[in-house]
Amino acid sequence: MKFVFFHLMPYPYLPDDFDEKYTSMSLTYPNRHFDPEKGYELYHRYLDQLEWAEELGFDGIAVNEHHQTSYGIMPSPNIMAATLARRTSRAQIMVLGNAIPIRDNPIRVAEEIAMLDHLTSGRLACGFVRGIGWEYFAQSINPTRSAERFFEAHDLILKSWTETEPFEWVTRNYEYRYVNIWPRPLQKPYPPIYMAGSGTPDTMRWAAKHHHVYMSVIAPTQSIKGWFNGYRKAAREEFGWEAGPDRFGWVTPTYVGETDKKAVEEARGPIEWYFHKSLKQPPGAGNPPGYVPLGSMKAALEKGTRRIPTDSMPIEDLIKGGYILVGSAETVAERIMELGEDLGFGTLGVNLAVGSIAESQAKENIEAFAKEVMPKVRKEMNDAPPETSL
């Protein structure tokens, strides 16, 4: 099992009247609520945690991209990866990922990722994501082009890393007379590609076609199982290859306590903050028109599939639904092995500095996971720990 310390970098300081006054902490939640002194302290605290995670033996440390929100204060994940590049030396640095459809210039993403690959001495993993609903409002990008721009930007970026002669790229979305990026990436042919998905069959098929690692978003275990099976089936039946556990990642908020009971009580505040407050999108922004292609929307409506709302689900139900990992080290380790077996994933992204968690509590949680959970799982699964871990 590959262990990834996954960070969202939330800004957790909400005003007392937040629930009465605001429906969401994204897009239109006024930025006067961002206190620069506290923000400054948070950036350095969170980066310290990411660096410390390498010392503690995590295989990867992950950052990601979000805009105009206190859900996560990383509008540029590449800047975060750059700060980590020369202060770490072993762990994979994972950008999960760049939201390529909402960027105006995919070539800039290709250039920055190629630079980061050199700065990290080839330790970079490159994720591509669609961007969340409200971000299409925040970045003024037409959501009806979201899927098309995602696939096309991906193709353009990969070609820019592999072509060794200048080439032209002219479509309705982008026009480049000269694509000829310097530097080319260090890893051959380019850094491993990760993508996040929420089960759209087209996206799974496409990921399987390219052999990219498929990372789940927050969802019930049963849904994720269906998605991973869809990928494996497409790989086997359409593209003629067997997708092993290294092609699948599961990312989840995680909390380790002394006992199961204590863990639940300690995690309740931060976890419920995460689900009940930070995941809430502004009214109407969750699914802007065209973000889900018409065909997929039609199929979903006809099937009557509805996502179960988690915005008021108590922590006990979140545990039962398989949305989160919470319990004693023993419980969490067993659950990881059980789910790893059942879902067939080989990468686990744990969000340990979750939601509104206090600094000291986050530290304990990170340490408990690294020192009590990871060794148990590695021992049971006969995984060798990374060479330089404690």
Partner 1 sequence: MTSTQATANHEDTQFDTHEGVVHLLRGGTGQPVLYLHGIGAPPGYWNAVHEGLSRSFDVIAPDHPGFGFTDVMDDLDRIDDVVYHYLDLLDRLGLQQDVHLVGVSFGGWLAAELAVHSPDRFASLVLAAPVGIRIPGHLPTDFFLMTAKQQGQALFHDPAKIPQVDPADAVTAFQTYKNLTGVARFGWVPFLSDPKLERRLYRVKARTLVIEAEHDAVVPREITERYAASITNAQRKTLSGTGHALDAEVPEAFSKAVTEFLSSGEEASKQ
Query: Measured from the CB of residue 141, what is the shortest distance to partner 1 in angstroms?
Result: 8
CB 141 within 8 A of CB 94: no
The reply on whether position 288 binds partner 1 by CB under 8 A is yes
Query: Measured from the CB of residue 300, what is the shortest distance to partner 1 in angstroms?
Result: 9
The reply on whether position 137 binds partner 1 by CB under 8 A is yes
10 Å CB burial of residue 61 (0-12, 13-18, 19+) is buried
User: What φ, ψ does residue 202 adopt, rounded to 5°?
Assistant: -60, -45
CB 102 within 8 A of CB 132: no
Among 62, 113, 132, 285, binds partner 1 (CB under 8 A): 285
The reply on whether position 175 binds partner 1 by CB under 8 A is no
Among 10, 101, 131, 282, binds partner 1 (CB under 8 A): 282
Query: Measured from the CB of residue 301, what is the shortest distance to partner 1 in angstroms?
Result: 4
Q: What is the contact mask toward partner 1 in residues 209 to 238, using x (rule: CB under 8 A)?
A: ------------------------------
76 versus 139: smaller Cβ distance to partner 1: 139
CB 262 within 8 A of CB 351: no
Query: Measured from the CB of residue 134, what is the shortest distance to partner 1 in angstroms?
Result: 8
Nearest alpha carbon to residue 239 among 250, 231, 229: 231
The reply on whether position 240 binds partner 1 by CB under 8 A is no
User: Distance (Å, rounded) from C-alpha 133 to C-alpha 319?
Assistant: 26
The reply on whether position 140 binds partner 1 by CB under 8 A is yes
The reply on whether position 172 binds partner 1 by CB under 8 A is yes
Q: What is the residue type of 231? A: Y
* Stretch 143-162 residues interacting with partner 1 (CB under 8 A): 143-145
The reply on whether position 290 binds partner 1 by CB under 8 A is yes
For residue 127, give the H/E element and its range.
strand 124-129
Q: What is the residue type of 50? A: L
Query: Measured from the CB of residue 304, what is the shortest distance to partner 1 in angstroms?
Result: 7
Q: What angle do CA 31, 198, 253 make, to 5 degrees?
A: 60
